[in-house]
Amino acid sequence: MGIFDFLSGEFIDVIHWVDDTRDTMVWRFERHGHEIKYGAKLTVREGQAAVFVHEGQLADVFTPGLYMLETNNMPIMTTLQHWDHGFKSPFKSEIYFVNTTRFTDLKWGTKNPIMLRDPEFGPTRIRAFGTYAVRVTDPAKFMTEIVGTDGEFTMDEISFQVRNIIVQEFSRVIASSGIPVLDMAANTADLGKMIAAEISPIVAEYGLAIPEFYIENISLPPAVEEALDRRTSMGVVGDLGKYTQFSAAEAMTAAAKNPAGGGMAAGLGAGMGMAMAQNMGPWGAVPQAQHAPQAAAAPAPPPPPAEKVWHIAENGATKGPFSKASLGRMAAAGELTRESFVWTAGQDGWMKAEDVNELAQLFTVMPPPPPPGI
């Protein structure tokens, strides 16, 4: 980290720090028992500050630049040592380099759910997480309040405390904001600014600032998310009656495409679909009946029984469903014969049309073929 140049093997002549760790906030310049020569060169690079601590007291703070360590460049040190302008002797002092650049992509998150009162859902809980950046704005205060005599202070040593401050202020701001949970995703930028404004005065007491604060996600508990998904699904469905009819029709179509065993399912689906379609009629008329006087309201008649529908087996595939009237026309056209196999809901397997009482009468208009030998 540090580069030491020695003059005559006795005094340090050049003092500077090159950081390659990306997480070191403070590094102490080690003297290894050598004294700092009066008039030595101090190099402070951009993104750094150098803090002198003399005999346990914080002395001068140097911002980026090149300095000659003399009495005119060290006013506080000169006062503490009672130096005059003719002083040329070495001196002992601890020098701390402070990294003043931004430490970015630091994580924060709520360890436990936050309780709040949502205007739409009532009492609920949320979780949140995101990222933030931090930087040292007052090296002297940061040294005094946080670092102390730590010779190498990293971001990990203070990130836990900063996260606690963030979560505390986030919980307080989010609970009092009055923003509905469903609108929080659209207001994360404003929420981030509000929370950063609340955090800044607290971390400023440590000599720090939060230049960036981001909310990446705000989530509800799984049970609430599931209920919200169901509510969204209901909104997508719209008219429940029409959706029920559509679902029944879809089931019938899928069953009809299955020659192996879809006949029974299709017949049941058709019967249910027609029954539901007929049942929807009286329900749809209820709002209009509500405008009539109570005495004139008559009970709605029960729905008519569902008509049977039939399926025909032909060449290893099923056709239908067909109503009884449609089968009568097919019998007259010769498309349905006595030997044709038919099936309807509730029937025990496939049967010949002439063996089904309800369909046998379709063939009485024509005499059966004469028996052989007559």
Query: Bigger pLDDT: 179 or 213?
Result: 213
Query: Within this chain, do residues 249 and 185 fall inside the same structural domain, yes or no?
Result: no
What is the number of structural domains in the chain?
3
Query: Within this chain, do residues 83 and 135 fall inside the same structural domain, yes or no?
Result: no
Q: Give the pLDDT of residue 289.
A: 45
Position 9 confidence tier, pLDDT thresholds 50, 70, 90 = very low
Any domain includes 122: yes
Rounded-to-integer distance, Cα 92 and Cα 147, Å? 20
Residue 204 phi, psi (nearest 5) = -65, -25
Angle between helices 188-204 and 156-176 (to 10 degrees): 130
Res. 306: pLDDT tops 50: yes
Query: Within this chain, do residues 207 and 246 fall inside the same structural domain, yes or no?
Result: no
Position 47 confidence tier, pLDDT thresholds 50, 70, 90 = very high
Q: Give the pLDDT of residue 112.
A: 87
Q: Give the pLDDT of residue 58.
A: 83
Q: Give the pLDDT of residue 180.
A: 86
Query: Within this chain, do residues 128 and 93 fall inside the same structural domain, yes or no?
Result: no
Rounded-to-integer distance, Cα 365 and Cα 333, Å? 13
Over residues 208-221, the mean pLDDT reads 91
Query: Bigger pLDDT: 134 or 268?
Result: 134
Q: Which H, E and C letters describe the chain, residue by residue? A: CECCEEECCCEEEEECECCCCCCEEEEEECCCCCCEEEEEEEEECCCEEEEEEECCEEEEEECCEEEECCCCCCHHHHHHHCCCCCCCCCECCEEEEEECCCEEEEEEECCCCEEEEECCCEEEEEEEEEEEEEEECCHHHHHHHHHCCCCEEECHHHHHHHHHHHHHHHHHHHHHCCCCHHHHHHHHHHHHHHHHHHHHHHHHCCCEEEEEEEEEEEECCHHHHHHHHHHHHHHHHCCHHHHHHHHHHHHHHHHHCCCCCHHHHHHHHHHHHHHHHHHHHHHHHHHHHCCCCCCCCCCCCCCCCCCCCEEEEECCEEEEEECHHHHHHHHHCCCCCCCCEEEECCCCCCEEHHHCHHHHHHHCCCCCCCCCCC
Cα distances from 150 to residues 95, 138, 145, 153, 157, in angstroms, run 12, 17, 12, 6, 11
Position 261 confidence tier, pLDDT thresholds 50, 70, 90 = low
Query: Within this chain, do residues 116 and 71 fall inside the same structural domain, yes or no?
Result: no
Rounded-to-integer distance, Cα 60 and Cα 79, Å? 11
Query: Within this chain, do residues 336 and 254 fall inside the same structural domain, yes or no?
Result: yes
Over residues 229-234, the mean pLDDT reads 73
Any domain includes 300: no
Residue position matching structure tokens 């020659």: 259
Any domain includes 323: yes
Q: Give the pLDDT of residue 356.
A: 85
Rounded-to-integer distance, Cα 43 and Cα 2, Å? 11
| Pick from 38, 180, 194: nearest CA to 122 | 180
Any domain includes 302: no
Query: Bigger pLDDT: 88 or 354?
Result: 354
Q: Give the pLDDT of residue 128.
A: 93
Query: Bigger pLDDT: 214 or 175?
Result: 214
Residue 321 phi, psi (nearest 5) = -80, 155
Query: Within this chain, do residues 336 and 246 fall inside the same structural domain, yes or no?
Result: yes
Res. 104: pLDDT tops 70: yes
Query: Within this chain, do residues 253 and 183 fall inside the same structural domain, yes or no?
Result: no
Query: Bigger pLDDT: 344 or 92?
Result: 344
Query: How high is the mean pLDDT of the chain?
Result: 78
Structural domain boundaries enclosing 348: 240-278+307-363
Res. 210: pLDDT tops 90: yes
Query: Within this chain, do residues 110 and 220 fall inside the same structural domain, yes or no?
Result: yes
Any domain includes 296: no
Least confident of 219-233, 253-267, 272-286: 272-286
Q: Give the pLDDT of residue 239.
A: 63
Rounded-to-integer distance, Cα 145 and Cα 1, Å? 24
Q: Give the pLDDT of residue 19.
A: 87
Over residues 326-336, the mean pLDDT reads 85
Res. 327: pLDDT tops 50: yes
Over residues 57-73, the mean pLDDT reads 83
Query: Do 169 and 202 contact (CB within 8 A), yes or no?
Result: yes
Q: Give the pLDDT of residue 279.
A: 54
Query: Do 322 and 330 contact (CB within 8 A), yes or no?
Result: yes
Percent of the chain with pLDDT over 90: 24
Q: Give the pLDDT of residue 207.
A: 94
Query: Bigger pLDDT: 190 or 73?
Result: 190
Q: Give the pLDDT of residue 287.
A: 47
Res. 268: pLDDT tops 60: no
Query: Within this chain, do residues 348 and 329 fall inside the same structural domain, yes or no?
Result: yes
Rounded-to-integer distance, Cα 291 and Cα 245, Å? 27
Query: Within this chain, do residues 252 and 158 fall inside the same structural domain, yes or no?
Result: no
Q: The sheet that has 65-68: what strands, in order across it?
A: 5-7, 11-15, 36-44, 65-68
Query: Bigger pLDDT: 199 or 8?
Result: 199
Percent of the chain with pLDDT over 70: 73
Over residues 186-215, the mean pLDDT reads 91
Over residues 232-238, the mean pLDDT reads 67
